[in-house]
């Protein structure tokens, strides 16, 4: 790429599948129809904790149109888990652990019949005592939800760097605060769906809306006891995931069992209610933060303690609780840092990965507290952050290596554009402005396979097909891959086709999570594209009697640098290449994972877990209605360092989407648990998610400089922005009306209550 003058890198590229989606052409899993397909439905437990003693489904099975009933027993005790050390789920339970936990499933010729059959299934339960609160679950004598997990603690992470005690001792000011971040749901527009087909040869094929086809394959293999070689997972269009669609869920297991039993395709599509009840939600977390600073604002020590609610199963608990601590060390230079995080089983719906994956809750706490510290020090909160901001070249006390970092620039630019100084501090008006910062990984080192792979082929007309294992879930990863190829080969994007997410045809890829896709898959694609370019350049160099290094690919032409008028078109070159030696394939492949990362040390947790880190500073301007307590967000200014921007439109979309999602968690979304841990508001009527009318003007300022490791210097943007949105809003509210809410969401009721208190 010509860095001074790229063809499409850095430009605004409409998503290559945008038209398909907007027109309704795009086929999602639920749109698919296969001959002889049956419809499946799940039956959930009415109890939060109960052993399934017996299931009598004779009546259901004899209902006309019902083809099979399967139960937890059909799994023969096999379990799966996203992490090998926490294989605690089976999809269909023999012991139900939350209200709604699926225990059986039915396949019938249509939905009505399937629903009718559910009513005819009689389950005998041995009801067990249940527990709904993490603190209570840890107490002596609390019901044990999973065997082998003492005190129901499913994950415990701890690190201790430097000397926090000494740090606090030397601090001029120390404060301790406790915050609470509530359960919210992903709210992806597309509820999930699966179609399973099982062939006589023993081959199982799954179409499902997923972020990680290879994880689905592996987990299905574990719980069904079928070799991965006999399972194919295909990801059609996905209508959003946000982390919720990374894992295997009950519907996949049930549909597979039903397909194996009936030998017919089986489709299960979740209702919105099931989507909220049966899949994953963001972990409610209590965060205790103690921070000590010098009087000039420099942080000398920080201690963070998190207690999170796992719900009924482990999901990604061990990683989530690790992230909660890890990410505290990204934005600021903290030399003495201690972290303890516990995630605890309760008999409630399962919590799991959601955009930010454990970083959001502590960030809300730390960023809120920083403002309280700033006030105490009579210091500008932005200035306080500048004094602690990570710089390029730093290594954190935990071993994170920051090759690139423009956080300071993000802070300065965002406050400048937002008119910070003008707008701050007037607590008698109803308007306020607040800032928060954060940083995130671009993929994190896990155990086992983490590389991404890409295959590319060029056809005789110069068309390019890219096979990537990475999953586009609406974030536009396919478009990024296409841009990289278009840049390297000088072909128009319209000549590039990207196929993604089919375990049988695309190279293995861990999945779309941890903000790894542009970073890993982008680099893999770059390598593959450069292999193609190199092969074609060799041929061009021979044809043009020039040096290979002087061959330029641009605007569909291939020429010697300096002589663009003597060109051969890319198409002609492709055709020539194929003709040489009677037909050569123009194919390239690439695979990539960063060389500069390590799996964190088992004991100390020391290690550089990611190849690069993103940084952001967000400034929110709000207006609070003192009569109603309603908060209106006037605008948002986002200073973002994601290295080099590949797709300006994509990056703007992430910024707007983060702000929308963040304002939801900050102000209105709340999963309410009732008796028995049941979700009381599992519908978009009662669960208040932002709509198009709530979205606000978001100004994005890109401040990043190219990272040495990322493709063209790019880093992540999908998750890092969200984590500072909530505290920016909360800090702005404080600036507006002097109210500090430490328990999300910040509802009108809470604000009014505080305002009342203030009057007293």
**Segment contacting a second copy (CB under 8 A): 147-155, 303-311, 450-458, 733-741?**
450-458
- Site residues for a second copy, 596-625, by CB under 8 A, read 597
Separation CA 507–CA 597 (nearest Å): 22
Please pick, from the candidates 48, 432, 453, 718, the single residue that binds a second copy as defined by CB under 8 A.
453
- Phi then psi dihedrals of residue 37, to 5 deg: -70, 140
**743 makes contact with a second copy (CB under 8 A):** no
Whichever of 90 and 591 has its CB closer to a second copy, that residue is 591
Quick one: tokens of 616?
A: 């952001």
Cβ(175)–Cβ(369) below 8 Å: yes
Indicate the residue among 27 and 680 with the shorter CB distance to a second copy.
27
- Residue 252 structure tokens: 């996949």
Q: Determine which residue in the list 12, 19, 604, 627 makes contact with a second copy, applying CB under 8 A.
A: 19
Beta-carbon contacts of 626 under 8 Å, excluding residues fewer than 6 positions away, are: 430, 737, 755
Q: Closest Cα partner for 241 from 309, 173, 188, 168?
A: 188
> Applying CB under 8 A, which part among 31-39, 95-103, 187-195, 731-739 lies near a second copy?
31-39
Give the count of residues interacting with a second copy (CB under 8 A). Answer: 63
Min CB(707)–a second copy separation in Å: 19
How many CB atoms are located within 10 Å of the residue 288 CB? 16
Closer Cβ to a second copy, 388 or 497, answer by number:
497
Q: How is the chain split among helix, strand and coil, in percent rounded to 5?
A: 35, 25, 40
Q: Rule CB under 8 A: choose which of 127, 585, 672, 680 binds a second copy.
A: 585
Stretch that binds a second copy, among 13-21, 42-50, 121-129, 477-485 (CB under 8 A): 13-21
Beta bridge partners of 289: 177, 304
Binding mask 287-326 for a second copy (x = CB under 8 A): ----------------------------------------
CA dist 617 and 382 (Å) reads: 9
Q: How far is the CB of 491 from a second copy (least distance, A)?
A: 9
At closest approach, how far in Å is the CB of 600 from a second copy? 13
Nearest approach in angstroms of CB 56 to a second copy is 32
The nearest distance, CB 205 to a second copy, in angstroms, is 11
Q: Determine if 221 is a binding residue for a second copy (CB under 8 A).
A: yes
Taking CB under 8 A as the criterion, the residue among 2, 3, 12, 27 binding a second copy is 27
Which residue of 25, 119, 176, 686 would you call a contact of a second copy, by CB under 8 A? Answer: 25
How far, CA to CA in Å, does 81 sit from each of 85, 254, 274, 317, 325?
A: 8, 16, 20, 11, 23
Q: Return the structure tokens found at 519.
A: 């970073």
Contact 177, 343 (CB under 8 A): no
In which residue are the tokens 């999953």 written? 471
Q: Are 714 and 518 in contact (CB under 8 A)?
A: yes
Residue 704: phi and psi, rounded to 5, are -70, 150
What character string, x for contact with a second copy (CB under 8 A) and - otherwise, covers 517-556? ----------------------------------------
| Distances 95 to 207, 387, 640 between C-alpha atoms, Å | 28, 53, 46
Q: Which residue in 77, 148, 562, 583 binds a second copy (CB under 8 A)? A: 583
Two tokens, residue 553: 């690919």
**Interaction mask 494-513, a second copy, x per CB under 8 A:** xxxx-x--xxxx-xx-x---
Residues 560-579 that bind a second copy (CB under 8 A): 578-579
Residue 463 C-beta: closest distance to a second copy, Å:
3
**Which residues sit opposite 173 in a β-bridge?**
293
| Binding of a second copy by 451 (CB under 8 A) | yes
Query: Judged by CB under 8 A, does residue 228 bind a second copy?
Result: yes
* Long-range contacts of residues 142-146, Cβ cutoff 8 Å, at least 24 apart: 143/49, 143/347, 145/49, 145/97, 145/312, 145/345, 145/346, 145/347, 146/88, 146/97, 146/314, 146/345
CA neighbor of 245 nearest in space, from 82, 478, 461, 445 = 82
Give the shortest CB-22-to-a second copy separation in angstroms.
Answer: 9
First to last CA, the chain: 65
Least Å from the CB of residue 737 to a second copy: 49
Residue 77 contacts a second copy per CB under 8 A = no
Indicate which single residue of 73, 230, 416, 753 sits in contact with a second copy (rule: CB under 8 A).
230
Q: For residue 389, what is the DSSP state?
A: B
Q: Where are the alpha helices (DSSP H) in 633-747?
A: 648-663, 720-737
- Report in angstroms how near the CB of residue 200 gets to a second copy at its nearest: 5
CB of 571 to a second copy, least distance (A): 9
Q: Is 237 in the site for a second copy (CB under 8 A)?
A: no
Tell me if 584 contacts a second copy by CB under 8 A: yes
- Minimum gap (Å) between residue 501 Cβ and a second copy: 12
Which region, judged by CB under 8 A, interacts with a second copy, from 21-29, 401-409, 554-562, 628-636?
Answer: 21-29
- Cα–Cα distance, 152 to 133 (Å, whole number): 11
- Give the nearest distance from C-beta 319 to a second copy in angstroms: 16
* Residue 79 binds to a second copy (criterion: CB under 8 A): no
Contact with a second copy (CB under 8 A): which of 445, 644, 678, 715?
445
- Name the nearest CA neighbour of 662 among 751, 749, 615, 723: 723
Residue written as token pair 């006999």: 230
- Sheet with 285-293, strands from edge to edge, namely 153-161, 337-345, 299-311, 285-293, 173-181
Minimum distance between the CB of residue 257 and a second copy, rounded to whole angstroms?
Answer: 18
Contact region for a second copy (CB under 8 A) — 279-287, 375-383, 445-453, 696-704? 445-453
Q: Is 242 helix (H, G, I), strand (E, B) or coil?
A: coil
Binding mask 187-206 toward a second copy (x if CB under 8 A, else -) reads ------------xxxxx---
Residue closer to a second copy, measured from CB, 26 or 174: 26
Q: Cis (ω within 30 of 0) for the bond into 745? A: yes
223 vs 638, beta carbon nearer a second copy: 223
Beta bridge partners of 234: 207, 502
Query: Residue 29 gets which letter from DSSP?
Result: G
Nearer to a second copy, 77 or 583 (CB): 583
Q: Which is nearer to a second copy, 390 or 506 (CB)?
A: 506
Residue of 422, 582, 757, 759 that binds a second copy (CB under 8 A): 582
111 near a second copy, judged by CB under 8 A: no
The CA radius of gyration of the chain, in Å to the nearest whole number, is 27
What CA–CA distance (Å, rounded) separates 63 from 59? Answer: 6
Closest CA to 735 of 389, 435, 350: 435
Using the minimum distance from each CB to a second copy, give the nearer residue, 99 or 481. Answer: 481
User: Using the 8-state DSSP alphabet, how is residue 600 labeled?
Assistant: P
Q: What are phi and psi of 255, to 5 degrees?
A: -60, -40
The binding site for a second copy (CB under 8 A) comprises 16-17, 19-20, 23, 25, 27, 31-35, 199-203, 221, 227-230, 232, 445, 448-451, 453, 455, 457, 459-465, 467, 494-497, 499, 502-505, 507-508, 510, 578-579, 581-585, 587, 589, 591, 593, 597
């Amino acid at each position: 790429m010509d860095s001074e003058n790229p063809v499409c890198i850095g430009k605004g590229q409409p998503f290559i599948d945008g038209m398909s989606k907007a027109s309704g052409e795009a086929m999602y899993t639920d749109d698919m129809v296969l001959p002889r397909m049956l419809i499946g439905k799940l039956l959930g437990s009415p109890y939060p904790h109960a052993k399934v003693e017996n299931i009598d489904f004779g009546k259901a099975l004899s209902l006309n149109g019902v083809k099979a009933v399967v139960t937890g027993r059909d799994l023969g005790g096999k379990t799966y888990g996203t992490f090998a050390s926490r294989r605690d789920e089976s999809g269909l339970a023999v012991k139900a652990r939350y209200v709604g936990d699926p225990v059986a499933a039915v396949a019938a010729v249509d939905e009505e019949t399937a629903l009718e059959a559910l009513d005819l299934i009689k389950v005998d339960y041995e009801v067990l005592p249940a527990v709904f609160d993490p603190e209570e679950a840890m107490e002596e004598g609390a019901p044990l939800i999973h065997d082998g997990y003492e005190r129901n603690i499913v994950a415990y992470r701890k690190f201790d760097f430097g000397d926090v005690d000494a740090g606090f001792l030397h601090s001029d000011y120390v404060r301790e605060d406790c915050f609470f971040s509530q359960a919210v749901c992903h709210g992806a527009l597309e509820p999930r769906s699966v179609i399973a087909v099982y062939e006589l040869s023993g081959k199982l094929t799954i179409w499902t809306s997923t972020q990680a086809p290879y994880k689905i394959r592996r987990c299905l293999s574990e719980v069904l006891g079928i070799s991965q070689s006999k399972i194919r997972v295909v990801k059609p269009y996905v209508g959003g995931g946000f982390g919720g669609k990374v894992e295997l869920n009950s519907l996949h297991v049930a549909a597979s069992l039903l397909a194996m039993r009936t030998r017919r395709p089986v489709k299960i599509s979740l209702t919105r209610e099931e989507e909220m009840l049966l899949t994953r939600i963001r972990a409610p977390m209590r965060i205790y933060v103690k921070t000590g600073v010098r009087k000039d604002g420099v942080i000398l020590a920080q201690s963070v303690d998190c207690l999170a609610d796992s719900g009924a199963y482990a999901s990604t608990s061990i990683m989530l609780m690790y992230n909660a601590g890890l990410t505290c060390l990204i934005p600021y230079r903290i030399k003495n840092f201690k972290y303890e995080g516990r995630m605890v089983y309760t008999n409630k719906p399962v919590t799991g990965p959601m955009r930010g994956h454990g970083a959001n809750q502590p960030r809300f706490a730390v960023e809120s507290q920083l403002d309280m510290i700033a006030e105490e020090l009579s210091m500008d909160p932005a200035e306080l952050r500048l004094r602690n901001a990570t710089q390029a070249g730093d290594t954190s006390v935990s071993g994170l290596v920051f090759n690139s970092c423009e956080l300071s620039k993000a802070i300065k630019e965002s406050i400048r554009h937002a008119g910070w100084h003008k707008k701050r501090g007037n607590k008698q008006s109803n308007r306020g402005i607040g800032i928060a910062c954060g940083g995130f990984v671009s993929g994190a080192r896990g155990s086992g396979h983490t590389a991404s792979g890409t295959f590319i082929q060029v056809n005789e007309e110069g068309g390019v097909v890219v096979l990537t294992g990475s999953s586009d879930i609406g974030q536009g990863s396919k478009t990024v891959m296409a841009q990289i190829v278009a840049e390297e080969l000088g072909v128009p994007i319209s000549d590039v086709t990207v196929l993604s997410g089919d375990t049988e045809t695309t190279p293995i890829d861990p999945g779309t999570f941890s903000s790894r896709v542009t970073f890993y898959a982008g680099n893999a694609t770059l390598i593959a594209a450069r292999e193609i370019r190199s092969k074609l350049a060799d041929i061009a160099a021979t044809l043009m009697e020039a040096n290979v290094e002087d061959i330029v690919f641009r605007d569909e032409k291939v020429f010697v640098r300096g002589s663009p008028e003597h060109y051969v078109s890319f198409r002609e070159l492709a055709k020539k290449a194929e003709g040489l030696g009677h037909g050569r394939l123009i194919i390239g492949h690439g695979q990539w994972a960063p060389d500069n990362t390590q799996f964190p040390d088992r004991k100390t947790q020391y290690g550089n877990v990611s190849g690069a880190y993103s940084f952001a500073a967000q400034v929110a301007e709000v207006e609070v209605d003192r009569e109603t307590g309603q908060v209106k967000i006037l605008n948002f200014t986002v200073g973002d360092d994601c290295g080099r921007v590949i797709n300006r439109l994509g990056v703007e979309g992430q910024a707007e989407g983060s702000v929308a999602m963040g304002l939801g968690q900050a102000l209105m979304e709340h999963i309410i648990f009732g008796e028995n841990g049941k979700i009381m508001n599992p519908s978009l009527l009662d669960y208040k998610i932002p709509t198009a009318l709530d979205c606000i003007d978001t100004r994005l300022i890109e401040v990043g400089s190219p990272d040495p490791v990322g493709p063209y210097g790019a880093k992540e943007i999908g998750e890092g922005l969200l984590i500072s949105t909530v505290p920016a809003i909360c800090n702005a509210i404080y600036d507006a009306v002097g109210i500090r809410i430490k328990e999300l969401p910040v509802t009108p009721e809470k604000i009014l209550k505080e305002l009342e208190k203030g009057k007293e």
